[in-house]
Amino acid sequence: MHAKYSELVSAFSFRITQRDGLARRGEMTTPHGVVETPAFMPVGTRGAVKAVTAEQLREVGAQIILGNTYHLYLKPGDGLIARCGGLHRFIGWDGPILTDSGGYQIFSLAAMRRIREDGAEFRSHLDGSLHHLTPERAADIQARLGSDIAMVLDECIATPAPAAAAREAMERSVRWARRARARFNQLRESPGDVHVTNAGQAQFGIVQGGTFPDLRTESVQATVDIGFDAYAIGGLSVGEPPEVMYEVVAHTAAQLPADRPRYLMGSGMPDDLIESVARGVDLFDCVLPTRNARNGQLFTREGPLSIKNARFAEDMSPPDPACGCYTCRGFSRAYLRHLFLAGEITGSTLNTVHNLYFYLDTMRRIREAISLGTFEKLRQEFHQTFRRRPQH
Amino acid sequence: MHAKYSELVSAFSFRITQRDGLARRGEMTTPHGVVETPAFMPVGTRGAVKAVTAEQLREVGAQIILGNTYHLYLKPGDGLIARCGGLHRFIGWDGPILTDSGGYQIFSLAAMRRIREDGAEFRSHLDGSLHHLTPERAADIQARLGSDIAMVLDECIATPAPAAAAREAMERSVRWARRARARFNQLRESPGDVHVTNAGQAQFGIVQGGTFPDLRTESVQATVDIGFDAYAIGGLSVGEPPEVMYEVVAHTAAQLPADRPRYLMGSGMPDDLIESVARGVDLFDCVLPTRNARNGQLFTREGPLSIKNARFAEDMSPPDPACGCYTCRGFSRAYLRHLFLAGEITGSTLNTVHNLYFYLDTMRRIREAISLGTFEKLRQEFHQTFRRRPQH
């Protein structure tokens, strides 16, 4: 189904096949296969998308997954993974993988962090051990992991941030991006002590600048000047209102090269995905479908549904009657509520299967609508029924 | 694949198709399908076999699963399950289900228990609430659950037990069995307030008597006199040495009706299964494959393997190179070790898939060997490699 290592294609490429307004349908080719865009990447934090197997990921329609460099670097370690043949072999997933740089987890998880010009110093949330991540090191680690797409190390800041702080972080991220690109190019020429599992790896730059349009514009220009395989919009989905996010996404996406994929990092709710596609975004990742599944929140076309609610105690209908996933085909709200209240692992699995299917099916419907020129209709219909908060 | 409710066959039946020594191969027909014996039943304590889905159960070869009456009675309640259409519909498993009577969990789990002639009084391990389970009530609850096979309430005691205590519990279990059978027959005639989800349900009696051959003989005679669809050997696998268990199994099985299935309750290690088949047992259940999976112990033909062992850190071979399960076909010891140490749910799932496959594949090989008349050869070969304790 997917390329063997010996048959890996050497280059990353992207081709837009259809447009509908600002929305684009395309094909992103990676060493481990083609990703149809717009696409959503389930998050496989520590080498597994929580509560599901690779087979279940395929069944729900996952084309590409995301791995967290911060977690994998700390445990089991990028060196171990490289010696085991790289991340794909290690985790038994032969489809495309994108790895982040670790920057966001240092910002959100580490026990201590200190940002200096050369990089980020932090203490592990696992054991308090001291680590130093530089733009070069983040590139090296991802080369060892052998992901299909590597991200540059960027500096994440809390929002709302004052303009001066946002500028400082944005400018440092640009300087780091330059160093990350240099290291990436150098690794391509001579991998040195870095275990070569990364044939054909692509590297994406990240646009920062908080919610300030002028900073975003500057960041786009400087990052595109460096020249990456594609570009991500970072620093959003961190608490700002959706309208603000949509505005920044629209402003930023419009300035990014039209012929490269645009990746909105860490976002978001299902309506965020649709609104961002409407503004020209091609790629997404988010922990919401998986994390909320484990917390008993199931996504439906009417919005999230809290499965522990007493009204579902004897409700033998599936979570979402319109859904075609394994969970909805065979299991009831009453049963999923029981499994959740009993703390059964199987409940986490069934909920995760449903939520991922919902997200990935939404992306399928978006791609289809773009092909048919009916994206705007889909968008309106989606908003007519979908509510961001549980209605029951 | 399995009978719809409208097509349920009305009667339980058992047919022996081949014999090899004392080992028997057979077909046990239940309202929800045929079970090829000797068979192993994965334990679905609270309406789910922990960490796997019904689909994964099918894939590993499960033909029949066990549900725990104690757990289901307390949560979500047999009334709720009956109103949801019975246990099969509630949990989304359309294959055969056997339910125990709750007696063993009262003995092993309840916060307090008091055995009186009329039944067992106990406090829930969940909330301390007071409950009273009688032989009649255990039959009613299982009728509401609508399992294919119901077990009579018996009195379980700790071993080693003095002969007097073993006799007392055995004799009470016989009196309870008589009442359970009367209630079962009465329910068949007029289900009354018991929701009728149990068309065609069978009821098994349980032989007690600890490790005392004369008590076992008495128990067999009295229980067979009452007359059940089949007979179980209870009160074993509770800490006695394997040789003692094998002796009691041999002694008891030899006296049970040859034309009815013989079910050894709660047992055991893989070699226990083979040794019990060699003594004429047809049916097994045990939490070992599922519980040990979650604790990182994987069964192989050489014995259990502790996946957290440091020697597996970079071992890219599958848990058992001779195994054909989903886990062994796609994942390495190194990865499973990582998942276990990281506490990833996916690790529990992959380990459970492997262990259940190992148990169920062992049963498949046993059945095949009986057909070929090579059971004794299989038994010897098994013991040549299998060690009960982890070798590494």
The residue out of B292, B315, B347 marking a domain boundary is: B292
Has residue B343 got a pLDDT over 70? yes
pLDDT-derived band at B4 (thresholds 50, 70, 90) equals very low
Residue A79 lies in a domain: yes
Residues B63 and B76 placed together within one structural domain of the fold: yes
Catalytic residues of B: 100, 285
Omega of the bond leading into B373 within 30 degrees of 0 (cis): no
Domain with A369, as residue range(s), is: 296-385
**Interatomic CA distance for residues B26 and B42, integer angstroms:** 19
Phi, psi of B303 (to 5 degrees): 120, 180
Say which of A20, A148, A282, A285 is annotated catalytic: A285
Residue B6 lies in a domain: no
Low-confidence spans in chain A with pLDDT less than 70: 1-10, 192-198, 391-392
Q: Which domain CATH number covers A42?
A: 3.20.20.105
The residue out of B238, B265, B292 marking a domain boundary is: B292
Is A94 an annotated catalytic residue?
no
Residues B371 and B319 placed together within one structural domain of the fold: yes
Provide the 10 A C-beta neighbour count for residue B193.
Answer: 7
pTM for the whole structure: 0.96
User: What pLDDT score was predicted for residue A4?
Assistant: 40
Query: What share of chain B in percent tops pLDDT 90?
Result: 88
| The residue type at A361 | D
Residue B307 lies in a domain: yes
Residue B8 lies in a domain: no
Residues B213 and B323 placed together within one structural domain of the fold: no
Please give the average per-residue pLDDT across B318-340, as a whole number.
97
B contact test, residue of A195, A338, A340, A352 with most B CBs within 10 A? A338
Residue A11 lies in a domain: no
Residues A182 and A97 placed together within one structural domain of the fold: yes
The residue out of A263, A292, A321 marking a domain boundary is: A292
Residue A5 lies in a domain: no
Residues A86 and A183 placed together within one structural domain of the fold: yes
Provide residues of A within 8 Å CB-CB of chain B.
46-55, 75-76, 80, 83-85, 89-92, 313-314, 316, 326, 330-332, 334-335, 338-339, 341-342, 344-350, 353
3-state secondary structure of A222: helix
Give Cα separations from B201 to A340, B11, B67, B130, B196 (angstroms): 29, 8, 14, 29, 10
> What's the domain count of chain B?
2
| Each residue's pLDDT tens digit, B260-283 | 999 999 999 999 999 999 999 999
Q: Which among A90, A335, A342 is the nearest to B90, CB-wise?
A: A335
Phi, psi of A115 (to 5 degrees): -95, 125
| Each residue's pLDDT tens digit, B67-116 | 999 999 999 999 999 999 999 999 999 999 999 999 899 988 888 999 99
Residue A390 lies in a domain: no
Residues B240 and B307 placed together within one structural domain of the fold: no
Residues A101 and A224 placed together within one structural domain of the fold: yes
**Interatomic CA distance for residues A331 and B91, integer angstroms:** 7
Residues B130 and B270 placed together within one structural domain of the fold: yes
Structure tokens at B154: 């018996």
Residue A305 lies in a domain: yes
Residues A26 and A139 placed together within one structural domain of the fold: yes
Q: Which among B50, B339, B349 is the nearest to A344, CB-wise?
A: B50
Q: Which among B80, B314, B346 is the nearest to A84, CB-wise?
A: B314
| Each residue's pLDDT tens digit, A134-186 | 999 999 999 999 999 999 999 988 878 899 999 999 999 999 999 999 999 99
Residue B315 to chain A, least CA–CA distance (Å): 8
| Chain A residues lying within 8 Å of B89, measured CB to CB | 316
Residues B179 and B214 placed together within one structural domain of the fold: yes
Q: CB–CB of B233/B250 below 8 Å?
A: no
Structure tokens at A198: 């990364």
Residues B284 and B306 placed together within one structural domain of the fold: no
Q: CB–CB of A72/A87 below 8 Å?
A: yes
Please give the average per-residue pLDDT across B236-257, as a whole number.
95
| Higher pLDDT pick, B192 / B149 | B149
Nearest 5°: the CA angle A291, A296, A300 is 90
Residues B277 and B350 placed together within one structural domain of the fold: no
**Interatomic CA distance for residues A102 and A137, integer angstroms:** 10
Please give the average per-residue pLDDT across B108-136, as a whole number.
94
